[in-house]
Amino acid sequence: MPFPYASPEQIMRDRAEYARKGIARGRSVVVVQYADGILLVAPNPSKALHKISEIYDRIGFAAVGRYNEFETLRQAGIRYADVNGYNYNRNDVTARALANVYASQLGMIFTDSIKALEVEIVVAEVGETSDQDQIYRLTFDGSVFDEQGMAVIGGQSDTVATRLKERYRPGAPLADALDAALSALTEPGGERPSAAQLEVAVLDRNREHRKFLRLSGPRLERLITPPPPETPPAPATPEGGPKPPPTAPEGDIDTGSEPPL
Amino acid sequence: MASQQAWMNNLFTNTGSSSFTEFLRGYAPEMLPGNRDALPAPVGEQIPHATTIVAVTCAGGVVMAGDRRATSGNMISNRDMEKVFRTDEYSCMGIAGTASTGIEMARLYQVELEHYEKLEGRSLSTEGKANRLATFVRQNLGAAMQGLVVVPIFAAYDEKIDGGRIFGYDVGGGPYEHHLYHSIGSGSIFARGSLKKLYRENASPDEVVLTVLQALYDAADDDSATGGPDVTRRIWPVVAVITADGYRRLPEEEVSAAVETILSGRMIDPDGPTAPLR
C-alpha cells in the first residue's frame, strides 16, 4: 500500500494543532495566588466530575481538556505523591518533582502517540510564605511554565488572562482574588456564573495537615460578592512583570531542544 | 528521566483500585510491611514495645490517650514515644505491641485512608475504615507469630450517629466494636478497671480527658511497662479529641494542666477518685 510521506515537522504540527483545538473548546480555569495561599477556580456545573483536585498536603491540581485524559493524570499524580510520601517523608513530596513527572509523560505521549493528550494542567504548591508558592503550568507537549502569581488554562485563555491581569493584585484577600478570577472568567457584559456552577478550592497555608479545601455551598455564596457598579478597575499594577507566555505554544512547537523552563 | 525509580514505570497505565496498599503490592511490593522473609528466630522482647492506649467516648465524639513509654524487656527504651496517630480528619489509631511494626502500620494506614479519599472524592465510612485496619492487622499475623505483634485501637467520629466509635482488634484482625470505652496494651487491664468506675455517660470532652488520664495513671501505677506522667521532664501522655470539628491533639499546656489536676488529687489520695458504692 502506498504510504504518503509526511515530514516529522508536519506530523508534530498537526498533532499540536489538534490538541490546541480540543483544549480551546472548553472553558478556562483560573489559578491565582491570594494572601493566604492559592485559589483555584473552574466554571464547572458538574458536582461529580472535578476539574480541581487535591494531590497532596500542599499540592493542588487543575486541568482542562478531555476529562478521561486529565483524570488519568490526576490519579497518577496522587499515586506518585502518596508513594513518595510514604517511602520518604510527607514534606519530600514537591510540586516541582510532580511537574517533572507530568512533563515527561506528556512529552512522551506527544512524540510517541498518534494523538497528543488534549489537556492543559496546573500543578500548584502552597509554601510557608507567599514567595514560596509555586504554580506550574503544563501544556499537552510536556512544556513546563513556572508561572508568577497566576495561570489561566483552557478556553480563550489569552483573553481571560488579560482580563485577570487587569483586576489581579498580588496579596489580595480571598474574596478579592475570587472576584478578580470571576470577572476574568466572565465575558464582558456576560453574566457571572453562580455558586452552583463553580468549582472552587483553595490551598490555604494556614490550615493544618492538608492545605487543600473545597469551597462550596453557603461558604462560597458568601464569598461571591456582587460585581461592583461600573467603576473602571484601576489598571495601576503594571509592575506585575512580563506578559505571561501564551497558553498553548504558538508558532513552532516545542521539540524539546529548547526547554521553555 | 534518568532518576525515575523502577516503580514509576507503570504509573499511568496500571490504574488499579482506590486502595493504596493494593496499588503498592503490584507496584513496589518491597515497600509494604509484612513482606519480609521469615525470621531465623522469634525476636521476643529484644525490640521495643509500646504499651497502654485508652479510648473513651464523650458527648459528640471520642477521646484517645496513650502513655509515652516503650520498653525492651526490663529496659525503658524510649520515654517520649508517641503511639497515638491521626489517621484522617475524623479518626485516629493507637498502637500496642512491637513499636516499629506499629508505627509502620499507622503510617501506611494514614496514606491508605487519604489515598482513597483523594481518588474517590469521598471518605470511607467509619466501618469501612475499621475493616480496612483489620486487614492490615491480619496481614501481620505471620510476623506476629514470630514476635512482631501489633494490636491497634481505632477511634473515629461518625457523623451518622454524631458521636464517637471505638474499634478493637486482636492479632488475627477484627474489628470488634467497643461501646463506651476500650483499652489495649500491657497496662490495659488496670486502665479498664479504672475506666469502668470513672466512665460517665455523656461527659464533655474536657471531663473525658481527665478520665483517660486517670486511667493511664492507674495503668502506670500497676504496670511497669506503662509510663506515668514524668513530672521532672514534663512528658505527658498524648491526648487526642475527635468531634464534629475534627481531630485535635491537645497542646502541651492543656495536657499539663489536666495532669496537674490529677497529680494534686493523687497527693491526697494516691489511689485516685473513688466511685460511689451505691
Q: Where are the domains of chain B?
A: 18-268
Mean pLDDT of B78-95: 93
State the number of CA atoms in the 13 A half-sphere of B84 facing the CB: 27
ipTM above 0.95, yes or no: no
Q: What is the DSSP letter of A149?
A: S
Treating both helix axes as pointing N-terminal to C-terminal, what angle do B99-120 and A67-87 enclose, rounded to 10 degrees?
170
Cα(B208)–Cα(B214) distance, rounded to whole angstroms?
10
What's the gap in Å between the CA of A75 and the closest CA on chain B? 6
Which residues of B have a catalytic role annotated?
51
Residue with cell 512528658: B235
| Helix (H) or strand (E) segment spanning residue B253 | helix B252-268
Instruction: Say whether A86 and B23 touch across the interface (CB within 8 A).
Output: no
Q: Which residues of chain A have pLDDT under 50?
A: 234-241, 244-246, 248-251, 253-261
CATH tag, B18-268: 3.60.20.10
Nearest residue of chain B to residue A48 (CA atoms): B121
- Tell me how many domains chain A contains: 1
Grid coordinates representing B10 are: 507503570
A75 touches chain B (CB under 8 A): yes
- Give yes or no for B32 touching A (CB within 8 A): no
Q: What is the dihedral of CA B44, B50, B52, B53, to 10 degrees?
A: -130
Residues linked to residue B50 through DSSP beta bridges, in sequence order? B70, B97
Answer whether residue A242 is part of any domain. no
Nearest to A86 among B11, B12, B107 (CB): B107
pLDDT of residue B45: 66
Nearest C-alpha of chain A: how many angstroms from B12?
A: 6
- Domain-located, residue A229: no
Separation CA A144–CA A133 (nearest Å): 16
CA distance A62 to B215: 49
Q: How far is CA B240 from CA A83, A100, B36, in A?
A: 27, 38, 33
CB-nearest partner of B119 from A78, A80, A87: A78
Q: What is the model's pLDDT at position B8?
A: 64
A115 within some domain: yes
Q: Is residue A73 in some structural domain?
A: yes
Chain A neighbors of B90, CB-CB under 8 A: none
Q: How confident is the model at residue B234 (pLDDT cuts 50, 70, 90)?
A: very high
Query: Domain limits at A172?
Result: 8-222
Q: What is the pLDDT of residue B14?
A: 62
Cβ-defined contact of A55 to B111 (cutoff 8 Å): no
How confident is the model at residue A256, as a pLDDT?
A: 46
Q: What confidence category does residue B264 fall into, taking pLDDT thresholds of 50, 70 and 90?
A: very high
Q: How confident is the model over B92-113, as pLDDT tens digits?
A: 999 998 888 899 999 999 999 9
Q: Which of A54, A76, A82 sits opposite B20 (nearest CB)?
A: A82
Chain B residue numbers with beta carbons less than 8 Å from the beta carbon of A203 are none
Decide: residue B261, CB within 10 A, 0-12 exposed, 13-18 middle, 19+ buried: middle
Nine cell digits for residue B277: 458504692
Where does the pLDDT of residue B145 fall: very low under 50, low under 70, confident under 90, or very high at 90 and above? confident
Is A169 domain-assigned? Answer: yes
Interface check for A234 against chain B (CB to CB < 8 A): the answer is no
Domain-located, residue A127:
yes
* Domain containing residue A118: CATH number: 3.60.20.10
For chain B, give the mean pLDDT. 88
User: Chain B within 8 Å of A55 (Cβ-Cβ)?
Assistant: yes
Of A81, A92, A31, the residue nearest A56 (C-alpha) = A81
Instruction: Name the nearest CA neighbour of B191 among B223, B235, B153.
Output: B223
Supply the pLDDT for residue A45. Answer: 86
Minimum-distance CB partner of B108 among A53, A75, A86: A86
CB within 8 Å: A86 and B111:
yes
Question: A213 and chain B: CB distance < 8 Å anywhere?
Answer: no
pLDDT reading at B261 higher than 60: yes
Residue A232 forms part of a structural domain: no
Q: Does A86 touch chain B if contact means CB atoms closer than 8 Å?
A: yes
Angle among Cα A66, A69, A73 to the nearest 5 degrees reads 130
Cα separation, B62 vs B166, in Å, equals 8
